[in-house]
Structure 1
């Protein structure tokens, strides 16, 4: 099956006849679907075709941004304004499409008050939820002296 340079279906023909037809147009014969029955070939300028394909691949790579994991670290003695500032920064990360790892770090004797760390994390997630819809990727859990959770922006 051969498709002409203007997109018209020229029907079935031998490969020799198709090559001669392409040469008469000063173009190339390119097999678009070699596994089809019969194979589909198109008469086109192969250099231009390859350039357009590379251009579209570059545009796709440019638009496909990998999500990153950003980290916000809190301490149980954090002030309300500082908490809101960190929440504001987290919202920026979420708006950019990144995930945010929220970590509450306890030091020394603060380990005796783990409930304060849990309360701070819940309060921080609440402040985030006021600003933007979020989903919790990984529920809060303890790992050593750190209470952490991962959140991302809720998909529409």
Structure 2
């Protein structure tokens, strides 16, 4: 079971606590028993909000409602985070013009969608002896998409593959 990070009601260990009621007004420093009875009168919980203060600060609130709202805020924050995916476009050094334009169109679409694009040039057989063809192709791709993205990682060889990563421009 997960450790409860906030002490509530009888789990509070301090003898005296500074109490803030449900409307936000200070009730002052009270004994734990007085603070618990003040919370009971209102039908709410006594929650330790600042355990390291001297004396600890406690608030009178509906703890279940507080936890629910905190959970909702956390879910909303997770929903608003942007996940950037890396989409890949593969080509060969001898890719024809029409095929190049088609792959370029896909790369542009991925960048417009806010994703990074990994451009991979695959070498077969003896093509690997001429990496300058791949480099030229990658430079051409970088030039064609410079209005939408910038090169994050320049092209480099890894075995029979030459890769380059292009990230979308910040808006």
Instruction: Indicate the TM-score class for this superposition, using the shorter chain for normalisation.
Output: 0.7 to 0.9
Q: How does 1:4-83 map to 2 (within 5 A)?
A: 4-83=21-100
Q: Which blocks of at least 5 consecutive residues in structure 1 are unaligned?
A: none
CA distance in structure 1 between the aligned counterparts of 2:112 and 2:30, rounded to whole angstroms? 55
Structure with the larger helix share: 1
TM-score computed with the length of structure 2 as normaliser: 0.79
Contact (CA 8 Å) 2:149, 2:166: kept in 1 or not? Answer: no
CA–CA separation in structure 1 for the residues paired with 2:153 and 2:38: 62
Q: Which moved more, 1:81-90 or 1:9-18?
A: 81-90
Which segments of structure 1 move beyond 4 Å, counting only runs of 4 or more? none
In angstroms, what is the RMSD of aligned CA positions?
1.9
Unaligned runs of 5+ in 2: 1-17
Task: Work out whether residues 105 and 146 of structure 1, in 8 Å CA contact, stay in contact via their aligned partners in 2.
Answer: yes
Q: Deviations over 1:61-105 (max 9, x none)?
A: 222243332221111222334333323322333344432221111
Q: TM-score, normalised by structure 1?
A: 0.86
- SS of the counterpart of 1:12? strand
